[in-house]
Structure 1
Amino acid sequence: MIIDFQLPELGEQVSSATVTSWNKAVGERVAKDELLLEVMTEKVNVEVMSPWDGMLVEIVTDVDADVSPGVLVARFEIAD
């Protein structure tokens, strides 16, 4: 099953962030709570962890892209 992954809420009053790095590549297995990507807000760098065990099948948001919480950033394939 393919699941969309949206950027989670990053804190109170954080309306946007910039993707600084992806720690996994398309086709790689990802464990739940494993570091997936890093983003930078106006105040801090934030590590975003994977919410699922699965495989990263698509990166929708490239490095240096500005994103808001709730925006689609990747897709995962997970077991049903």
Structure 2
Amino acid sequence: MRYTIKLPKLGDTTELVVVLEWLAEVGDSVAAGDDLLRVETDKVDSDVPSPVSGTLVEHLVAVDDEVDIGDPIAIIVSD
């Protein structure tokens, strides 16, 4: 199954983040809970975990991109 991963809510007031780095590369196998990327909010840096297990097949955002909560960030395919 193919999953479009969206940026989850990271705090009560956070609406926009900046992508600092990808922690998982395209082709990597990830488990639910594994960190996919690190983002910067207005208050703190935060890691974004994968909600599903599978293979990361596409990054939909790049380092230094500004991303709104709920925007698609990655595609993961599970068996």
Q: TM-score, with normalisation over the residues of structure 1?
A: 0.95
| Cα deviation, residue 47, structure 1 | 0.8
Unaligned runs of 5+ in 2: none
1:76 corresponds to: 76
Structure 2 SS opposite 1:32: coil
| 1:64 partner amino acid | D
2:12 corresponds to: 12
1:41 counterpart = 2:11: no
Query: What RMSD over aligned residues (CA atoms) do the two structures have, in Å?
Result: 0.7
- Residues 17-28 of structure 1 aligned to structure 2 (within 5 Å): 17-28=17-28
2:2 corresponds to: 2
| Cα deviation, residue 54, structure 1 | 0.3
- CA offsets, 1:14-73, max 9 Å, x none? 110000010111111001111111100111001111111100000010010000110001
Unaligned runs of 5+ in 1: none
- 1:33 & 1:3 partners in 2: Cα distance? 15
Count of aligned positions: 79
| 1:69 partner amino acid | I
